[in-house]
Amino acid sequence: MDGHTPQRDRSAPSRDDRPALVEARDLWLTVQSRPVAVNAGWRRALRLQRAPAPTVGERSPDALDIVRGMSLAVAAGESVGIVGPSGSGKTSLLMLLAGLERPTRGHVLVDGIDLASLNEDERARFRGRRIGIVFQSFHLIPTMTALENVAVPLELAGREGAFETAEAALRQVGLGHRLGHLPGQLSGGEQQRVALARAFAPRPALLLADEPTGNLDVRTGESVQALLFELQRQQGTALLLITHDPALAARCDRQLVVSDGQLRAAAEATA
Ligand SMILES: Nc1ncnc2c1ncn2[C@@H]1O[C@H](COP(=O)(O)OP(=O)(O)OP(=O)(O)O)[C@@H](O)[C@H]1O
C-alpha cells in the first residue's frame, strides 16, 4: 500500500463479542452553514463582507454539526437497518462509513483498517475491494452498457476476468439477456439490479445501501429487496441499510434510529 502501513485494531468487540467488521468511534461531521466561497463579483453586487476565516482550532460561528458523536459496531455478515427522519444524518453517516466523507472528529475502522490512515487513492482501492455501495438513484454510468458498468470497476480494482465475473453477476440478478443495453434502455428496477450486480461482484465484506428501493414501485421494490437480502446472505456480507420503510428495516438483524445527528438502538429510541 504505497509503503504506508494502515493501523490495524482488532481489539474492539461488536455486540456479540466477535471482532467488529465495521467500527465507528464517536463520529462527528461539522460543516459550514454559509457558503464558504462567494464569487467576488457577486460579493460586490450583494455588498457582502468576506466572513473572517476562523483561526485553526477555533469553531466558526457558522459551524453546523450534522453528525454528533455516532458510535457503531457491525459484525461480519450482520445486517443493520437504519431509519430516521429526513435530514437527520443517515446519508452523512453512510458517507463517513464509506470513507467518502472525512469525519471532523472520530474514527471509522473497516476490517481493522482506520480509514483515516489511508490516503485518497488507498481509500478508493480499499472501497473497491471491501465496500459495495447501492444508492437510491442507481448511479450507473449512462454511456456504458450494463456489462461495462459492472466490469469496469472490477478491472479498475485489478481483478482478473472482470468481464466474465461481471457477466456471471448480471446473470445472477436475472439480467443475462440485457448485458449490452445502456442504463437508459433499462427500467428502474433493472437498473437497480445492475447496481446490485456491480456492488456484489467484488464480493465486498460490507454493503452500504441508501434507500435502495426508494425510486421503485412497491412490487419492483419488493423483488429488489428480496434479491438484496439473498445476495447478502449468500455472500455473508455485512449490510447497513438506510430506509424510510420500517418494514424493510425490520428485515435486518437489528435496527438503529438516527435522530438529530445521533444514533440509537431502535428500542431506546421508542422508550
Ligand atoms: N456537505 C454538506 N454541507 C452542508 N450541509 C449538509 C452537507 N451534507 C449534509 N448536510 C445537511 O446535513 C443534514 C443531514 O443530511 P443527510 O443527507 O445526512 O440526512 P438524511 O437523514 O439522509 O436525510 P434524507 O432521509 O432526507 O435523505 C441535512 O440538514 C443536510 O442538509
Task: For residue range 166-204, list pLDDT tens digits in order.
Answer: 999 999 999 999 999 999 999 999 999 999 999 999 999
State whether the beta carbon of 243 lies less than 6 angstroms from ligand 1.
Answer: no
**What's the confidence (pLDDT) of residue 51?**
55
With respect to residue 106, please indicate whether it lies within any of the assigned structural domains: yes
Confidence of residue 12 (pLDDT cuts 50, 70, 90): very low
Confidence of residue 157 (pLDDT cuts 50, 70, 90): confident
State whether the beta carbon of 255 lies less than 6 angstroms from ligand 1.
Answer: no
Q: Which atom of ligand 1 is nearest to the CA of 95?
A: 18
With respect to residue 118, please indicate whether it lies within any of the assigned structural domains: yes
With respect to residue 134, please indicate whether it lies within any of the assigned structural domains: yes
With respect to residue 224, please indicate whether it lies within any of the assigned structural domains: yes
Q: Whose CA is nearest to atom 12 of ligand 1?
A: 66
What's the CATH number where 258 sits? Answer: 3.40.50.300
With respect to residue 7, please indicate whether it lies within any of the assigned structural domains: no
Q: Whose CA is nearest to atom 16 of ligand 1?
A: 89
Q: Whose CA is nearest to atom 26 of ligand 1?
A: 86
pLDDT at residue 244 greater than cutoff 60:
yes
**What's the confidence (pLDDT) of residue 16?**
53
**What's the confidence (pLDDT) of residue 45?**
66
Say what the pTM is: 0.85
Out of 40-44, 64-68, 150-154, which region has the weakest mean confidence (pLDDT)?
Answer: 40-44
**What's the confidence (pLDDT) of residue 34?**
66
pLDDT (average), residues 103-111: 95
pLDDT at residue 96 greater than cutoff 50:
yes
CA of 238 to the centre of ligand 1 (A): 24
Segments forming the whole domain that contains residue 175: 20-28+73-270
Confidence of residue 222 (pLDDT cuts 50, 70, 90): very high
Q: Whose CA is nearest to atom 13 of ligand 1?
A: 87
Ligand 1 test: best mutation among 29, 64, 88, most atoms within 8 Å of CB?
88
pLDDT at residue 103 greater than cutoff 90:
yes
Interface predicted TM-score of the whole assembly (ipTM), two decimals: 0.95
pLDDT (average), residues 253-269: 89
With respect to residue 208, please indicate whether it lies within any of the assigned structural domains: yes
With respect to residue 2, please indicate whether it lies within any of the assigned structural domains: no
With respect to residue 203, please indicate whether it lies within any of the assigned structural domains: yes
The whole-chain average pLDDT of the chain stands at 87
Q: How far apart are CA 137 and CA 154, in angstroms?
A: 21
State whether the beta carbon of 127 lies less than 6 angstroms from ligand 1.
Answer: no
Q: Give how many domains the chain has, as a whole number.
A: 1
State whether the beta carbon of 87 lies less than 6 angstroms from ligand 1.
Answer: yes
Q: Cell 466474465: give the residue.
A: 164
